Amino acid sequence: MSTPIVDGEVVTVATDVATITFVSAGADSVTTRLGDQEVVTTGPFHVADFEGLRAGTHYELEIEGLAAPTEQLPPRLRTLDRPSGALVATIATVNDVHFGETVCGMIHTIPEEELGPWVRAEPGEDPYPVTMNRAAVAAISGRAPDVVVAKGDLTCVGSEAEYQLFLETYAPLGDRLHHVRGNHDAMLDPTMALQGAPYVVEVNGVTLAVIDTVRPTEAGGQITADQIAWIDETAAATTGPVFVFGHHQIWDLRAPERSANYFGIDPDSSEAFAAVVGHRDNIVGYFAGHTHRNRIRRFEESRHVPFVEIGAVKEYLGVWAEYQVYEGGYTQVVRRLTSPDAMSWSERTRYLYGGLYPDYSRGPLDHRCFTHPF
Protein backbone atom coordinates (compact mmCIF):
# COMPACT_ATOMS: atom_id res chain seq x y z
CA MET A 1 0.00 0.00 0.00
CA SER A 2 1.46 3.34 -1.01
CA THR A 3 2.04 6.11 1.54
CA PRO A 4 -0.05 9.30 1.12
CA ILE A 5 2.12 12.36 0.58
CA VAL A 6 1.32 16.03 1.14
CA ASP A 7 2.87 19.45 0.50
CA GLY A 8 4.72 18.21 -2.56
CA GLU A 9 6.41 20.51 -5.04
CA VAL A 10 8.98 20.49 -7.78
CA VAL A 11 11.36 22.97 -6.20
CA THR A 12 14.15 23.05 -8.75
CA VAL A 13 14.53 22.13 -12.39
CA ALA A 14 17.84 23.24 -13.89
CA THR A 15 19.81 22.14 -16.95
CA ASP A 16 20.96 18.87 -15.43
CA VAL A 17 19.27 18.49 -12.03
CA ALA A 18 15.81 18.42 -10.50
CA THR A 19 14.67 18.43 -6.87
CA ILE A 20 11.26 17.32 -5.64
CA THR A 21 10.24 17.67 -1.97
CA PHE A 22 7.20 16.41 -0.07
CA VAL A 23 6.04 15.23 3.36
CA SER A 24 4.69 11.89 4.56
CA ALA A 25 3.59 10.48 7.89
CA GLY A 26 6.50 9.23 10.01
CA ALA A 27 9.52 7.42 8.62
CA ASP A 28 7.78 6.04 5.55
CA SER A 29 9.79 5.19 2.42
CA VAL A 30 8.60 6.59 -0.89
CA THR A 31 9.88 5.94 -4.42
CA THR A 32 10.08 8.84 -6.88
CA ARG A 33 10.83 8.25 -10.56
CA LEU A 34 11.98 10.83 -13.09
CA GLY A 35 12.53 9.37 -16.52
CA ASP A 36 14.58 6.22 -16.00
CA GLN A 37 16.00 7.35 -12.63
CA GLU A 38 14.55 6.20 -9.33
CA VAL A 39 15.13 7.67 -5.86
CA VAL A 40 13.87 6.19 -2.59
CA THR A 41 13.50 8.63 0.31
CA THR A 42 12.51 8.22 3.94
CA GLY A 43 10.11 10.60 5.71
CA PRO A 44 8.69 12.56 7.12
CA PHE A 45 10.61 15.13 5.04
CA HIS A 46 11.47 13.80 1.60
CA VAL A 47 14.04 15.27 -0.79
CA ALA A 48 14.33 13.50 -4.15
CA ASP A 49 17.39 14.80 -6.01
CA PHE A 50 17.98 13.80 -9.62
CA GLU A 51 21.31 14.51 -11.29
CA GLY A 52 22.90 13.92 -14.67
CA LEU A 53 19.81 14.96 -16.61
CA ARG A 54 19.99 16.17 -20.20
CA ALA A 55 19.38 19.85 -20.87
CA GLY A 56 16.23 20.83 -22.75
CA THR A 57 14.62 17.41 -22.28
CA HIS A 58 11.20 16.26 -21.10
CA TYR A 59 11.01 13.69 -18.29
CA GLU A 60 8.01 11.81 -16.92
CA LEU A 61 7.50 12.23 -13.15
CA GLU A 62 5.91 9.56 -10.96
CA ILE A 63 5.68 9.61 -7.15
CA GLU A 64 4.49 6.63 -5.15
CA GLY A 65 1.48 7.65 -3.06
CA LEU A 66 0.51 10.59 -5.28
CA ALA A 67 -3.07 9.91 -6.31
CA ALA A 68 -3.03 12.32 -9.24
CA PRO A 69 -0.75 15.04 -10.62
CA THR A 70 -1.07 18.49 -9.09
CA GLU A 71 -0.09 21.98 -10.14
CA GLN A 72 3.10 21.67 -8.09
CA LEU A 73 3.73 18.00 -8.99
CA PRO A 74 2.98 17.78 -12.72
CA PRO A 75 3.26 14.53 -14.69
CA ARG A 76 6.12 15.82 -16.84
CA LEU A 77 9.10 18.16 -16.37
CA ARG A 78 11.39 19.82 -18.87
CA THR A 79 14.96 20.65 -17.97
CA LEU A 80 16.29 24.10 -18.83
CA ASP A 81 18.29 24.82 -21.95
CA ARG A 82 22.01 25.18 -21.27
CA PRO A 83 23.58 28.51 -22.26
CA SER A 84 26.18 28.32 -24.99
CA GLY A 85 29.92 28.23 -24.37
CA ALA A 86 32.01 27.29 -21.39
CA LEU A 87 31.09 27.81 -17.74
CA VAL A 88 33.04 30.86 -16.56
CA ALA A 89 31.75 31.62 -13.03
CA THR A 90 29.28 30.60 -10.36
CA ILE A 91 27.61 33.05 -7.97
CA ALA A 92 25.56 32.24 -4.87
CA THR A 93 23.17 34.64 -3.15
CA VAL A 94 21.19 34.74 0.09
CA ASN A 95 18.85 37.38 1.45
CA ASP A 96 16.48 38.07 4.33
CA VAL A 97 18.43 35.95 6.78
CA HIS A 98 17.21 38.00 9.81
CA PHE A 99 19.57 37.04 12.62
CA GLY A 100 17.96 37.90 15.95
CA GLU A 101 14.36 37.35 14.85
CA THR A 102 12.27 35.26 17.25
CA VAL A 103 8.72 35.50 15.86
CA CYS A 104 8.28 34.34 12.27
CA GLY A 105 5.48 35.94 10.29
CA MET A 106 4.89 38.89 12.58
CA ILE A 107 3.52 42.03 10.93
CA HIS A 108 3.75 44.93 13.35
CA THR A 109 0.64 46.66 12.05
CA ILE A 110 -1.63 43.57 12.25
CA PRO A 111 -2.37 41.64 15.47
CA GLU A 112 -1.58 37.95 15.64
CA GLU A 113 -5.25 37.18 16.29
CA GLU A 114 -6.14 38.63 12.88
CA LEU A 115 -3.53 37.07 10.59
CA GLY A 116 -1.65 34.58 12.77
CA PRO A 117 -0.68 32.40 14.32
CA TRP A 118 2.95 33.43 14.06
CA VAL A 119 5.56 30.68 14.48
CA ARG A 120 8.25 30.50 17.16
CA ALA A 121 11.09 28.11 17.94
CA GLU A 122 10.26 25.67 20.71
CA PRO A 123 12.10 25.79 24.06
CA GLY A 124 15.48 24.10 23.71
CA GLU A 125 15.65 24.59 19.94
CA ASP A 126 18.28 26.78 18.30
CA PRO A 127 16.97 30.14 17.11
CA TYR A 128 15.49 29.49 13.70
CA PRO A 129 17.67 32.07 11.87
CA VAL A 130 20.70 30.16 13.15
CA THR A 131 19.23 26.83 12.02
CA MET A 132 18.39 28.08 8.54
CA ASN A 133 21.56 30.05 7.95
CA ARG A 134 23.85 27.26 9.10
CA ALA A 135 22.07 25.07 6.58
CA ALA A 136 22.57 27.75 3.91
CA VAL A 137 26.30 28.03 4.60
CA ALA A 138 26.69 24.25 4.44
CA ALA A 139 24.72 23.97 1.21
CA ILE A 140 26.57 26.84 -0.47
CA SER A 141 29.95 25.52 0.68
CA GLY A 142 29.09 22.19 -0.93
CA ARG A 143 28.54 23.91 -4.27
CA ALA A 144 31.83 25.87 -4.00
CA PRO A 145 30.78 29.05 -5.84
CA ASP A 146 33.30 31.69 -6.86
CA VAL A 147 31.41 34.49 -5.10
CA VAL A 148 28.64 34.75 -2.50
CA VAL A 149 26.47 37.87 -2.13
CA ALA A 150 24.22 38.43 0.90
CA LYS A 151 21.58 40.92 -0.29
CA GLY A 152 20.47 42.52 2.94
CA ASP A 153 18.22 42.11 5.94
CA LEU A 154 21.07 40.37 7.66
CA THR A 155 19.56 41.29 11.05
CA CYS A 156 16.19 41.73 12.71
CA VAL A 157 16.51 45.14 14.36
CA GLY A 158 19.96 46.20 13.17
CA SER A 159 21.85 45.55 16.41
CA GLU A 160 25.60 45.04 16.48
CA ALA A 161 25.15 41.64 18.17
CA GLU A 162 22.86 40.44 15.37
CA TYR A 163 25.28 41.67 12.71
CA GLN A 164 28.19 39.92 14.39
CA LEU A 165 26.20 36.68 14.46
CA PHE A 166 25.68 37.00 10.72
CA LEU A 167 29.41 37.53 10.18
CA GLU A 168 30.34 34.60 12.42
CA THR A 169 27.86 32.20 10.82
CA TYR A 170 28.96 33.07 7.28
CA ALA A 171 32.68 33.19 8.13
CA PRO A 172 33.32 29.70 6.63
CA LEU A 173 32.75 31.23 3.19
CA GLY A 174 35.87 33.35 3.69
CA ASP A 175 36.72 36.13 1.29
CA ARG A 176 34.20 34.85 -1.24
CA LEU A 177 31.48 36.50 0.87
CA HIS A 178 30.29 40.01 0.07
CA HIS A 179 27.26 41.70 1.55
CA VAL A 180 25.15 44.83 1.60
CA ARG A 181 22.54 46.10 4.00
CA GLY A 182 18.76 45.88 3.88
CA ASN A 183 16.19 48.09 5.56
CA HIS A 184 16.27 46.05 8.80
CA ASP A 185 20.02 46.65 9.10
CA ALA A 186 19.67 50.45 9.11
CA MET A 187 17.08 50.76 11.88
CA LEU A 188 19.56 51.75 14.60
CA ASP A 189 22.80 52.63 12.81
CA PRO A 190 22.48 54.35 9.39
CA THR A 191 25.82 52.89 8.26
CA MET A 192 25.61 49.29 9.52
CA ALA A 193 26.47 46.62 6.93
CA LEU A 194 26.75 49.18 4.14
CA GLN A 195 30.16 47.73 3.25
CA GLY A 196 31.08 50.67 1.03
CA ALA A 197 28.31 50.06 -1.49
CA PRO A 198 28.13 50.62 -4.34
CA TYR A 199 31.06 48.38 -5.15
CA VAL A 200 32.22 45.97 -7.82
CA VAL A 201 33.33 42.34 -7.59
CA GLU A 202 35.07 40.92 -10.64
CA VAL A 203 35.30 37.20 -11.39
CA ASN A 204 36.57 35.76 -14.68
CA GLY A 205 35.30 38.65 -16.80
CA VAL A 206 31.93 38.81 -14.99
CA THR A 207 31.11 42.02 -13.11
CA LEU A 208 28.98 42.02 -9.98
CA ALA A 209 27.69 45.53 -9.21
CA VAL A 210 26.42 45.65 -5.62
CA ILE A 211 24.26 48.69 -4.80
CA ASP A 212 22.67 50.16 -1.67
CA THR A 213 18.91 50.57 -1.97
CA VAL A 214 18.19 51.53 1.64
CA ARG A 215 16.58 54.65 3.08
CA PRO A 216 17.59 54.37 6.76
CA THR A 217 14.64 53.79 9.14
CA GLU A 218 12.27 53.30 6.17
CA ALA A 219 10.89 50.02 4.82
CA GLY A 220 10.91 51.24 1.23
CA GLY A 221 14.02 51.86 -0.85
CA GLN A 222 15.63 53.96 -3.52
CA ILE A 223 18.59 54.09 -5.89
CA THR A 224 20.23 57.47 -5.58
CA ALA A 225 21.09 59.49 -8.67
CA ASP A 226 24.79 58.99 -7.92
CA GLN A 227 24.30 55.23 -7.93
CA ILE A 228 22.27 55.33 -11.15
CA ALA A 229 25.23 57.12 -12.77
CA TRP A 230 27.64 54.65 -11.17
CA ILE A 231 25.74 51.65 -12.61
CA ASP A 232 25.84 53.29 -16.05
CA GLU A 233 29.56 53.98 -15.78
CA THR A 234 30.31 50.49 -14.45
CA ALA A 235 28.57 48.87 -17.40
CA ALA A 236 30.27 51.22 -19.86
CA ALA A 237 33.68 50.28 -18.49
CA THR A 238 33.43 46.59 -19.48
CA THR A 239 32.21 44.49 -22.38
CA GLY A 240 31.50 41.52 -20.13
CA PRO A 241 28.17 40.75 -18.45
CA VAL A 242 27.12 42.91 -15.49
CA PHE A 243 24.92 41.47 -12.72
CA VAL A 244 23.40 44.08 -10.40
CA PHE A 245 22.54 43.10 -6.81
CA GLY A 246 20.61 45.04 -4.17
CA HIS A 247 18.09 44.50 -1.41
CA HIS A 248 14.84 46.11 -2.62
CA GLN A 249 12.82 45.12 -5.67
CA ILE A 250 12.00 47.72 -8.31
CA TRP A 251 8.63 49.37 -8.89
CA ASP A 252 6.31 47.76 -11.43
CA LEU A 253 6.80 50.01 -14.43
CA ARG A 254 3.39 48.93 -15.75
CA ALA A 255 1.49 50.00 -12.61
CA PRO A 256 -1.42 52.33 -13.47
CA GLU A 257 -0.85 54.57 -10.43
CA ARG A 258 2.34 55.77 -8.75
CA SER A 259 2.96 55.38 -5.04
CA ALA A 260 4.95 57.67 -2.80
CA ASN A 261 5.14 54.94 -0.14
CA TYR A 262 6.05 51.88 -2.21
CA PHE A 263 7.51 48.97 -0.25
CA GLY A 264 10.37 48.61 -2.75
CA ILE A 265 12.42 51.04 -4.82
CA ASP A 266 10.47 54.23 -5.49
CA PRO A 267 8.95 54.76 -8.96
CA ASP A 268 11.31 57.56 -10.05
CA SER A 269 14.57 55.74 -9.35
CA SER A 270 13.11 52.46 -10.61
CA GLU A 271 12.41 54.11 -13.95
CA ALA A 272 15.86 55.70 -14.05
CA PHE A 273 17.48 52.34 -13.31
CA ALA A 274 15.37 50.56 -15.94
CA ALA A 275 16.43 53.18 -18.49
CA VAL A 276 20.11 52.42 -17.81
CA VAL A 277 19.43 48.69 -18.20
CA GLY A 278 17.63 49.49 -21.44
CA HIS A 279 20.61 51.17 -23.08
CA ARG A 280 23.46 49.11 -21.58
CA ASP A 281 23.26 45.80 -23.40
CA ASN A 282 25.69 44.07 -21.06
CA ILE A 283 23.55 44.52 -17.93
CA VAL A 284 22.00 41.06 -17.76
CA GLY A 285 19.82 41.21 -14.63
CA TYR A 286 18.96 42.81 -11.32
CA PHE A 287 18.69 40.51 -8.29
CA ALA A 288 16.95 41.53 -5.06
CA GLY A 289 15.31 40.13 -1.93
CA HIS A 290 13.10 42.03 0.51
CA THR A 291 9.73 40.61 -0.56
CA HIS A 292 10.37 37.04 0.69
CA ARG A 293 9.05 35.69 -2.60
CA ASN A 294 10.36 34.25 -5.86
CA ARG A 295 9.30 36.49 -8.72
CA ILE A 296 10.57 37.93 -12.01
CA ARG A 297 9.49 41.12 -13.75
CA ARG A 298 10.51 41.98 -17.30
CA PHE A 299 9.88 45.24 -19.14
CA GLU A 300 10.11 46.16 -22.80
CA GLU A 301 11.94 49.41 -22.00
CA SER A 302 14.72 47.42 -20.29
CA ARG A 303 15.13 44.80 -23.04
CA HIS A 304 13.11 42.21 -21.10
CA VAL A 305 16.09 41.69 -18.79
CA PRO A 306 15.01 39.84 -15.61
CA PHE A 307 14.36 41.90 -12.48
CA VAL A 308 14.45 39.09 -9.96
CA GLU A 309 13.25 38.66 -6.36
CA ILE A 310 14.44 35.67 -4.34
CA GLY A 311 12.66 34.18 -1.32
CA ALA A 312 13.98 34.30 2.23
CA VAL A 313 16.47 31.96 3.84
CA LYS A 314 14.73 32.10 7.23
CA GLU A 315 11.33 30.55 6.42
CA TYR A 316 9.33 28.62 3.82
CA LEU A 317 10.52 27.77 1.18
CA GLY A 318 13.87 28.45 2.80
CA VAL A 319 16.00 29.07 -0.30
CA TRP A 320 19.19 30.44 -1.75
CA ALA A 321 20.02 31.12 -5.41
CA GLU A 322 22.86 30.02 -7.66
CA TYR A 323 23.89 31.65 -10.94
CA GLN A 324 25.81 29.50 -13.39
CA VAL A 325 27.40 31.96 -15.81
CA TYR A 326 28.48 30.74 -19.23
CA GLU A 327 30.06 32.52 -22.17
CA GLY A 328 26.64 32.81 -23.81
CA GLY A 329 24.26 33.33 -20.88
CA TYR A 330 23.40 32.25 -17.37
CA THR A 331 21.08 29.92 -15.54
CA GLN A 332 19.40 30.86 -12.25
CA VAL A 333 18.82 27.90 -9.95
CA VAL A 334 16.84 28.46 -6.72
CA ARG A 335 17.74 25.73 -4.24
CA ARG A 336 15.77 24.78 -1.14
CA LEU A 337 17.54 24.16 2.17
CA THR A 338 17.00 20.44 2.59
CA SER A 339 18.81 19.42 5.77
CA PRO A 340 16.31 17.75 8.14
CA ASP A 341 16.24 20.63 10.65
CA ALA A 342 15.86 23.23 7.90
CA MET A 343 13.08 21.26 6.21
CA SER A 344 11.31 20.83 9.54
CA TRP A 345 11.35 24.57 10.23
CA SER A 346 10.36 25.64 6.72
CA GLU A 347 7.41 23.22 6.78
CA ARG A 348 6.30 24.67 10.12
CA THR A 349 6.18 28.11 8.46
CA ARG A 350 4.54 26.96 5.23
CA TYR A 351 1.01 28.08 6.06
CA LEU A 352 1.61 31.53 7.50
CA TYR A 353 -0.98 34.26 6.94
CA GLY A 354 -4.03 32.06 6.98
CA GLY A 355 -2.55 29.63 4.47
CA LEU A 356 -1.76 32.28 1.85
CA TYR A 357 2.01 32.01 2.11
CA PRO A 358 2.78 29.08 -0.24
CA ASP A 359 1.25 30.71 -3.31
CA TYR A 360 2.83 34.05 -2.45
CA SER A 361 6.31 32.94 -1.43
CA ARG A 362 6.98 29.95 -3.68
CA GLY A 363 6.30 31.62 -7.01
CA PRO A 364 6.07 29.78 -10.34
CA LEU A 365 8.82 27.31 -11.19
CA ASP A 366 9.99 29.41 -14.15
CA HIS A 367 10.47 32.35 -11.78
CA ARG A 368 12.78 30.23 -9.63
CA CYS A 369 14.75 28.53 -12.38
CA PHE A 370 15.42 29.96 -15.83
CA THR A 371 18.08 30.44 -18.49
CA HIS A 372 18.84 33.89 -19.87
CA PRO A 373 21.02 34.01 -23.02
CA PHE A 374 23.32 36.92 -23.74
The domain tally of the chain equals 2
CATH classification at residue 127: 3.60.21.10
Tell me the pLDDT tens digit for each residue of 181-198. Answer: 999 999 999 999 999 999
Tell me the pLDDT tens digit for each residue of 35-70. Answer: 999 999 999 999 999 999 999 999 999 999 898 999
pLDDT class of 4 with cuts at 50, 70, 90: confident
**What's the CA gap between 334 and 318, in Å, rounded?**
10
Contact 117, 361 (CB under 8 A): no
pLDDT higher than 90, residue 204 = yes
Together in a domain, 169 and 211: yes
Together in a domain, 38 and 131: no
Inter-residue long-range contacts of 300-309, CB under 8 Å, 24+ positions, other chains counted:
301/253, 301/274, 301/275, 302/253, 302/274, 302/275, 302/277, 302/278, 303/277, 303/278, 305/277, 305/372, 306/332, 306/370, 306/372, 307/249, 307/250, 307/274, 308/332, 308/367, 309/249
Together in a domain, 17 and 62: yes
Together in a domain, 223 and 305: yes
Together in a domain, 17 and 95: no
Together in a domain, 95 and 241: yes
Examine the fold and report which residue of 45, 61, 78 is the final residue of a domain before the chain moves on.
78
Q: In what order do the strands lie in the sheet with 58-63?
A: 37-42, 29-34, 58-63, 76-78
When the pLDDT of each residue in the chain is averaged and rounded to a whole number, the result is 97
Parent domain of 51: 5-78
Residue 206: alpha-carbon gap to chain centroid: 20
Residue 22 CB neighbours (<10 A) = 24
| Through-space distance between the first and last CA atoms of the chain, rounded to whole angstroms | 50
Read off the pLDDT of each residue in 272-281 and give the average, rounded to a whole number: 98
Together in a domain, 62 and 95: no
Tell me the pLDDT tens digit for each residue of 122-145. Answer: 999 999 999 999 999 999 999 999
Return the pLDDT at 26: 86
Examine the fold and report which residue of 30, 56, 78 is the final residue of a domain before the chain moves on.
78
Contact 291, 309 (CB under 8 A): yes
Query: Which residues share a beta bridge with 320?
Result: 335
Tell me the pLDDT tens digit for each residue of 240-269. Answer: 999 999 999 999 999 999 998 999 999 999
Phi/psi for 228 (5° steps) reads -55, -45
Together in a domain, 58 and 119: no
Together in a domain, 139 and 262: yes
Look at strands 329-336 and 369-373 and give their pairing: antiparallel
**What's the CA gap between 13 and 57, in Å, rounded?**
11
pLDDT class of 283 with cuts at 50, 70, 90: very high
Return the pLDDT at 115: 86
Closest CA to 76 of 20, 125, 132, 147: 20
Together in a domain, 33 and 146: no
Percent of the chain whose predicted confidence (pLDDT) is above 90: 94
Query: Which residues share a beta bridge with 321?
Result: 93, 334
Together in a domain, 296 and 217: yes
pLDDT higher than 60, residue 1 = no
Return the pLDDT at 70: 95
Together in a domain, 66 and 96: no
Examine the fold and report which residue of 32, 57, 78 is the final residue of a domain before the chain moves on.
78
pLDDT higher than 90, residue 294 = yes
The pTM score is 0.97
